[in-house]
Structure 1
Amino acid sequence: MSIVAKQWSMSPQLAAVGSCCLVGVICGDNLYVANLGDSRAVLGRAVRETGEYLASQLSEEHNVCIESVRQELQSLHPDDSQIVVLKHMWRVKGIIQISRSMGDVYLKKAEFNREPLYSKFRLREPFKKPILSAEPSISVHKLLPYDKFVIFASDGLWEHLSNQEAVDIVQKHSRSGSARRLVRTALHEAAKKREMRYSDLKKIDRGVHRHFHDDITVIVVFLDSNLVSRASFVKGPNLSVRGGGINLPPNTLAPCTRPTESGTN
């Protein structure tokens, strides 16, 4: 909000910039998941008796297509009959689908919902309290030896794949490139829905692709069952995941990006 306030006269459209946020923290044998928006964390758990893997959703989503989310907003804004509006799909104030996010200050402070902000973001009537929230939903999951991996992904993936379908894809293939395989599978599904070839979909310019499919970001975290099982017995800092695939120079900070045709493993 402070950045938007400082840049208001020069870059007022910053007020309409926002993002979903999904965070996973593993400490000892506990996995903490915090979510803002409609990204999703899904656990792949092995069933000892059958060898199958079952999907378990760990995050709570904040998308007004979900009835309980609409009810939450309506209870917070009882005097606003237009807090959620059905326009082909449910939207907050007829504009945005998510009820919680980072940024999107134009729906959190009335002083930023006015000219020179683009008219499509401006509400007809001023609001007295924030419409969107930046309060994350937080869950805690105690990791067990048969918990094998966690898929963290934006809604662009879940629009085309169910939780179980995504878990099955990761389970059936090797660890290497599993996130990219999920992205490719989702893009194949997007191409089918558009009745076009996957190769043609990939050729679409990044500035235009949003008309064909949403952004897709995927990270797959594989859990080391031996370390997880020992975590509750070891005092002090514990390592419960093993990273790999990308080596960065010392003191390098990797920027957070939203690739549309590649994943992170």
Structure 2
Amino acid sequence: PPRSKYSGWRLCSLSISFLPLRLGIKISMDAEEAKAKLLAVQKELGHEIRVFTNTTASEKPDDVSASATEEPDDFYDFTPEDYYQIMSEKIGAQSQVLKTRKIREAEAAVRRARITKAVIRVRFPDNYVLEVKFQPAEKIQSLMDLLTKVVARPDLPFYIYTTPPKERIKDTSKDFYSAGFAPGAIVYFSYDWPKVAKEGPYLRDDILSLNGLDLSAEQVDDPVHPEQEPKPKPPEVASPLPDPKPAAKKPTKPKWLKL
């Protein structure tokens, strides 16, 4: 039988109507695969990680340290603000001397108890940043061990440093809190090999594929609120009964009245 000229339009419209559904299913599957990949890497490393690019950094660490050494002439002038700052620091130092050792230890313990994590961001020369969450009591060596697992060339020696000024981290036996890296710090990565120090990529390909993924950014469903119990009705207060009126007395004749 001859086909209607509108049959092709109907088929086209049906295909278009199913297109958003197919796209939604594909996006959902991609999100689930990315989530599974990130969870697998975190399980391998034993720490929660995040990979992203440092788009806000316009200067390299060496450039920052170099520009920081060049100050204008009036930078070295002694201002009233400098005087007040020095005096306040002097008074604070004197008050610290007056404190007993037990008080200082107690205050330090309180400050340490408030810090529950150490978020370390490792910046690589190719502008990638690896963020790792540690416990404040963990050693810096745990960060070095983790970097050995994620870098592209674990066979080459490397080191981490802070800046400015550039200071190489040599004592990895310190914990993150004692090193001043809690609740968070930024360190820089470099190969200890001049020929490959500026060659990338620095992270494994499967680690780089996690760029932009963050489980903490997912939306959490609103908690289900329990059904509200009906409010108890206030007890009904009985209205007070009216005071009984005294019964009316019948009139009686006095005794002296004789009929």
Name the TM tier (shorter chain).
Answer: under 0.3
More helix by share: 2
TM-score by length of 1: 0.21
Bigger Rg, which one: 2
Query: Whose strand proportion is higher, 1 or 2?
Result: 1
Normalising by structure 2, what TM-score?
A: 0.22
